[in-house]
Structure 1
Amino acid sequence: MLRALSKYYDCLCRQKDSGLVPDGYSKVGVNYNLVLHSNGTIKEILPYTKAVLNGKKEKEVPRDEFFPFRNSVPGISAETIDHREKYLFGIEWDKKNEKLSATKNSLLAFEKCKEKNLSFLEGLSSPIIDAYKIFLQNWNPENELDNPFLTALGKKYGGAKFIVTSQEDPAAQRPLSREAQVKEKWENDWRNRPIPADAVLGQCSISGKYGQIARIHDNLTGISGGLATGVNIVCLKSPAFWSYGRRESYNSSVSQEIMEKYTKAFNYLTSVPAHKQMLDGMTLLFWAMTAESEKPYLQAFNTGAGFFSLPAEDPSEAERNERQSQEQALASVFSQLSQGKEADWKGFGIDQGTEFYILGVKPNSSRLAIKIFEHNSFGTIMDRIQQHHRDMQLSPADKQMPIWLISKALKSPIASKDPLPPDLSTKILQSILRGSPYPRFMLETAVRRAKTDQDDAAKKFYAVSRDRVRMIKACLTRMDLIKRSEFTMLNTQNTDGAYNCGRLFAVLEMIQQKALPGINTTIKDRFFSSACSTPYLVFPRLMKLSQSHFGKLDRGNAIFFEKIIQEIVSNLGDSFPKAMNMEKQGMFILGYYQQKEKMFETKSEGEKDNEPA
């Protein structure tokens, strides 16, 4: 997993639209633009913000800029091309007295900023570089407490971030941090930065290269339920985990380079909505290993997977129209997949052979628990996802069943204290992505709930619901107990004893309802569970009971039901099954549902949807 993330970081560096922070840089939200005259004096301070939609209203937020890498260290420590007001001007905002103030700390911060930046810029020259150097040399914080440009900011000065530009800059106010000479010198210094004298060297367990081993791994952020400060995957703080004389994360033998790559890639994924989804408390991250744009892969996966809703965003009208157009085009591809045809992805800029990764994590104290890590070619993953949707269908008209809906269908509104396993969603997702049988718990629970739950017509709840039957059918298909494309409709030629017992039970129930209109308790309420488990003990009694019901039917209905019973009994053979295992009970429920659906097919679609199933 760490190798995949570090490799993905290299791909992101080659992508033009990734927005990844380049190596050796930090992204900072900037509030103001400090414009300097060529003589180093302040010309003006301008807002440096952008308008974004917040609901239906626009609000101004800081603009993002890349600065030389920021070190988060305690105490007074200046940065190359510093953006902080205390370091840039040597002045702080006094909240208590609501005025500008030059304190001991702020003066020390300015001196450190002045020393570090003049040293860094030595030998470099351009309009903005020269103006900035003169500014640092001539600026006296204690004499500038009444500076009109700073006092005009008021309390907004406190915590403000600045870029520095020059009126003489021909590149339309290009910030000092983006000046070509500054970038070249910084990147050269970053590449050739010395290894600390106390660094531990060794062979990296991920890349195999010899180099500096990371002692502490950077925090991973953006995980739902995790600590606000971040969590770790590699973390060995306790001496109990130290071995071979190595302390802390030296035991993992992950190089500093690989550590920085995988943590940056992970934090990038959690910060971009299109790469991130939530599934039953688990954070899912996914990415395509390509140097080209990932957008078509992510949109196809988010739209076609059907496991979850699309990322929550507030797109512009143009973006919404583009998404709608893309979804309509994708619909034709998913239609091809649902019919078992090879999908044509070429028009979407998608290479089916591209590696696609899916990582699921959950926080565990200050660490991350890896719940799922799957990768395959994008084409294979999409084929398996569409195979899952086909397996879950009883007819081509059935819509996709998200995993959250599968979990919901397995719960009983009555037995609310019967919780599902916390890892069920993870196991279902793994089955989908691997094309393997679904968790047995899924079949067992669907059958048990169908047998024991009681229908509640007032709440439109039915124990043998279409969703549960779809799950049962899918489980039996993945177990190779029924063939794919079978049982998408009533199969009157099938001779499976359990399936035909289910059909027969549905017919006997319908006969009772026709003979005794408005009856409160049917044979389903009293005998469904036992008929499903031990048909041999129950059906002789039910067949005898049905004879009295036949006498109350009109001649047309009597003949109609008699023919169906004769056809079913001929498929059953000489006797009813004595006892049925879980798989056979699933077949019983499938037969019951499809026979009942067949007998209601003459009703209007609106009536059919409200029928008990």
Structure 2
Amino acid sequence: MIISDLCDEYAVLVSQNKAPVYGYDNVNVPYGLVINDDGILVEVRLLGDFSGKKPINKISVPARFVKTSGIVPDFLCGNAEYMLGYNTEKPEHAVKAFQACAQLHMQILEGIDDPVASAVRAFFLQGPQWEIAKRLMGDCWESSLKMNFALQHVDGAQTIFVGDFPGIQKAWNTYYDQKGNDDKSSLVSSLVSGKLVVPEKTHPRIKNVAGAHPAGSALITFNAAAFCSHGAVQNENAPMSKREAYEYTTALNTLLADESRVQRIGNDTVISWACCGNAVYSDLFSGLYSSETQSNGLDEKTIKDATCALAQGRRYDYEGIRLNPDEHFHILALSPNKSRLAIRFYLTDTFGVFAHNIEQYYQDTEIRRPRYDKTGFLPILRLLGQTIRKQRKDENAPVKKQKKKSAIENVSSEMVSAIMQAILNGTPYPVTLINVVERRINVERDVPPDKAAIIKAYYLRKTTNEQFKEVLQMDINEESEYLPYVLGRIFSIYEQIQLGAIPNINTTIKDKYFTSASTTPARIFPILGDLAAKHMRKAWKSEGLKIKLDKVLGTLTQKVGDHYPSRLSLEERGAFQLGYYFENQKRFNKTNKSNEDNEQGENND
């Protein structure tokens, strides 16, 4: 299914001129070797943009052959070792590489009566011409040795890549089609199309996957006899034609090279695409990861408005582009492995279905926040950031040495994959999420807004307790008598009483008792009650606040009675933490509003 969908995407990319046609690759070629009719190198041209660290000049060249080990030359394009026979560290190897490259060109161009083909044959018959190239390039020579060189030929007043001449193209296409397809006795049914094909033994490499080998890794590979069957070798065990192997790998490489289609989370690389080829769908999807304004100008409000409209089955117009909820959309997650790429998950459905599930995630994590927190929804990068230890900045380290690291680089791929699938499929969140968040709360002894949002979201899809469901709301439920929730609220009141009695205290009951109070209330709450009673007997700066808190505490303790539970379950601890969080937000927001009103009154005076 994945391979078939990628082959379909290849056809779309070719129609948009974003992918090379069959038998060709888009390769970075910064240098052109200009030869005359006699095959003599007369000029080395600098091609493309040389302003950055590495020169960039992407052009379409004959397809690269898969390089595993040994000497594997390519047609019309290669590094200095293959094209010029130069390698100071391994001169003998360079001679063999040049000879192999010459042999390949002679084989492909054999019998071709064409002046350009004759010039190419003459170039290789001249022997290695690295000395001429070194003289022509001067100071640029050393930096070019690991870059690609392509053969060029003068055509009138123009210098043209040899591969663009019709005679050369025809020779290459004939050779590429026939290579590996000579043995018709090995025809088998393709897993992609169902047609009888000669199976391709090795497939092109996949590049630009975070953490994978820089030269590329295989998506499909059978590198041990234990994985093979019925006498098949290598990728004959997953039979498909050379063309099908080329199409799926080219489509995937093209998508991976497009930043608008790719999101990197921890060790996972997530690629998305719409069947119509419009990248705006991927841009909207990327809004799930970060609330920051996207590179294409999509801000948080636009992302949320578009997602809401598409989730409800309505079309959405964005800068003249009409987005359709019925557009088919694909999401593929890859991660590096020792010998091949691992597929974390692959999801495909209409964009409207994904938008509906993402909108549901937004609603799940929507929660009352402090006035200063303008978060519209909880992006997945921030959600994952709540599962790991907060990074502390080393104040003594030099500024230049303090590298900015991803907040989720230590999150396991398994957790990332499980959370992503839960969001996109609208299924319960993984239990590992709540376990990790609970551990962080116990260590940090605090319930910040993002962690409270995660607790709410997790249990909305998990709990069957009707009393608990009543408090899984965006704001406080003051009518609820669910005991763990009420205990959390009482703990917040106890803390407020302590702060009212001792305003400048550095360590509150939260720092000492929060974890144990949310786990074993029967043991801790009598202690907290005694402390609160002592604090109430002291003189307060605000007697009005003292009376108010005493009244609220009385109302809440009536709901609890004289019996405290000996131990709270994991689910009940979540309710306790939400009760504590909401009671705190009620206090903070009222305090902020009171301060704003006082400031406004002073200004009016």
**Could you say what secondary structure the match of 2:336 adopts?**
strand
Work out which of the residue numbers 214, 217, 230 in structure 1 matches 2:200.
Answer: 214
Task: Report the secondary structure of 1:359's partner residue.
Answer: strand
Over 3 Å counting, the alpha-carbon distance change for 1:243 and 1:137 in structure 2 is closer
Give me the whole-angstrom Cα distance separating, in 2, the residues matched to 1:507 and 1:28: 66
Q: Which of 447, 453, 473 in structure 2 is aligned with 1:464?
A: 447
Q: 1:229 to 1:66 in 2, by over 3 A?
A: closer
What does the per-residue CA deviation read over 1:197-253, in whole Å, with 9 as the maximum and x for residues that have no partner? 386321123322221123333333333333344333332232223333333332333
CA distance in 1, matches of 2:96, 2:216: 33
- CA deviation after TM superposition for structure 1 residue 81, in Å: 5.5
Deviation at 1:281, TM superposition (A): 1.7
Contact 1:176 1:182 in 2 (8 A): yes
Matched, 1:476 2:459: yes
Aligned residues: 558
- What is aligned with 1:202? 188
TM-score scaled to structure 1, two decimals? 0.76
Return the offset for 1:178.
2.3
Which structure 2 residues correspond to residues 314-393 of structure 1 after superposition, within 5 A? 323=296, 326-328=297-299, 331-335=301-305, 337=307, 344-347=315-318, 348-393=321-366
Mapped partners of 2:283, 2:527: distance in 1: 57
| Alignment of structure 1 residues 392-471 onto 2, 5 Å | 392-395=365-368, 397-412=374-389, 423-450=414-441, 452-453=442-443, 463-471=446-454
Secondary structure of the residue aligned to 1:376 is: strand
Where in structure 1 are there 5+ consecutive unaligned residues?
A: 123-128, 312-319, 456-462, 609-613
CA spacing shift, 1:26–1:95, aligned 2, 3 Å:
same
Query: 260-269 vs 172-181, which deviates more?
Result: 172-181
**Aligned pair in 2 of structure 1 residues 152, 549: CA closer, same or farther (>3 Å)?**
closer
Q: Does 1:603 align with 2:605?
A: no
Query: In the alignment, what sits opposite 1:531?
Result: 517
Name the CA distance, whole Å, in 2 between partners of 1:79 and 1:426: 38
* Equivalent in the alignment of 2:20: 21
One-letter amino acid of the structure 2 residue matched with residue 289 of structure 1: C
Q: Does 1:8 align with 2:9?
A: yes
Cα separation, partners in 2 of 1:144 and 1:399, compared to 1, 3 Å? closer
Q: Any conservation in 2 of the 1:333–1:345 contact (CA below 8 Å)? A: no
Deviations 1:156-205 (A, max 9, x none): 49776244344437xx6554422356546654665566722386321123
Is contact 1:535-1:576 (8 Å) kept? yes
TM-score by length of 2: 0.77
Contact 1:403 1:425 in 2 (8 A): no
Question: Are 2:109 and 1:117 aligned?
Answer: yes
| Structure 1 position 564 matched with structure 2 position 552 | yes
Amino acid at match of 1:469: A
CA deviation map 1:356-399 (0-9, x unaligned): 22222222211222222222222322332333233223138325
1:277 aligned counterpart, secondary structure: strand
Change (3 A) 1:53 1:432: farther
Letter in 2 for 1:365: K
Residues 101-149 of structure 1 show CA distances to partners (whole Å, capped at 9, x for unaligned) of: x9898689658746743623x3xxxxxx54x256468879669989989
SS in 2 for 1:346: strand
**1:7 Cα deviation after fit:** 2.9
Mark the CA change 1:567 to 1:336 in structure 2 (over 3 Å): closer, same or farther. farther
The one of 225, 245, 248 equivalent to 2:211 is 225
Distance in 1 (alpha carbons) for counterparts of 2:134 and 2:254: 35
* More moved, 134-143 vs 254-263: 134-143
For 2:136, which of 132, 152, 160 is the aligned residue? 152
CA distance in 1, matches of 2:419, 2:124: 66
Amino acid at match of 1:406: L
Classify 1:602/1:103 alpha carbon distance in 2 versus 1 (closer, same or farther; 3 Å).
closer
Say which SS state the counterpart of residue 373 (structure 1) adopts. strand
> Which amino acid in 2 is paired with 1:453?
V
Match of 1:317 in 2: none
Partners of 2:41 and 2:411 lie apart in 1 by 66
- Change in CA separation of 1:556 and 1:152 when aligned onto 2, cut-off 3 Å: closer
The aligned counterpart of 2:283 is 299
**Distance of 1:251 and 1:160 partners within structure 2:** 34
Q: 1:65 aligns with which of 43, 59, 67?
A: 59
Q: How does 1:52-91 map to 2 (within 5 A)?
A: 53-54=51-52, 61=55, 63-71=57-65
Partner Cα separation in structure 2 for residue 160 and residue 414 of structure 1: 42
Conserved? CA contact 1:282–1:361, under 8 Å: yes
Matches within 5 A, 1:222-301: 222-290=208-276, 292=277, 294-301=278-285
For the 8 Å contact 2:23–2:173, the answer to whether it is kept is yes
Report the Cα offset of residue 590 of structure 1.
0.7
Change in Cα spacing, 1:562 to 1:112, as seen in structure 2 (3 Å) is closer
Q: Is the 8 A contact 2:108 2:172 kept in 1?
A: no
- Rounded to whole Å, the distance in 2 between the matches of 1:108 and 1:414 is 53
Q: Distance in 2 between matches of 1:502 and 1:77?
A: 68
Distance across 1 between alignment mates of 2:360 and 2:509: 37
2:495 aligned residue: 509
In 2, are the aligned partners of 1:233 and 1:368 still within 8 Å (CA)?
yes
Q: Tell me if structure 1 keeps the 8 A contact 2:66–2:204.
A: no
Is this contact kept in 2: 1:200–1:212, CA < 8 A?
Answer: yes
- Determine whether 1:51 maps to 2:49: yes
- Asked if the contact 1:32–1:45 (Cα under 8 Å) also holds between the matched residues in 2, the reply is no
Shift of 1:591: 0.9
Could you tell me how far 1:279 is from its partner in structure 2? 1.4
Question: Any conservation in 2 of the 1:279–1:308 contact (CA below 8 Å)?
Answer: no
CA contact (8 A) 2:40 2:123 kept: no
Q: Deviations over 1:268-316 (max 9, x none)?
A: 33333333332122222222222x3x321232222x11259799xxxxx
Per-residue deviation at 1:536? 4.6
- Distance in 1, matches of 2:269 and 2:222, equals 23
- Which of 571, 589, 592 aligns to 1:583? It is 571
Mapped contact 1:502–1:591 kept (Cα < 8 A): yes
* Comparing 141-150 and 402-411, the one that deviates more: 141-150
Change (3 A) 1:62 1:40: farther
Q: Is the 8 A contact 1:82 1:113 kept in 2?
A: no
Give the Cα–Cα distance (whole angstroms) in 2 for the partners of residues 81 and 94 of structure 1: 19
Greater Cα offset, 191-200 or 20-29: 191-200
Q: Distance in 2 between matches of 1:390 and 1:433?
A: 14
SS of the residue 1:374 aligns to: strand
Contact residue 212 and residue 255 of structure 1 kept, 8 A: yes
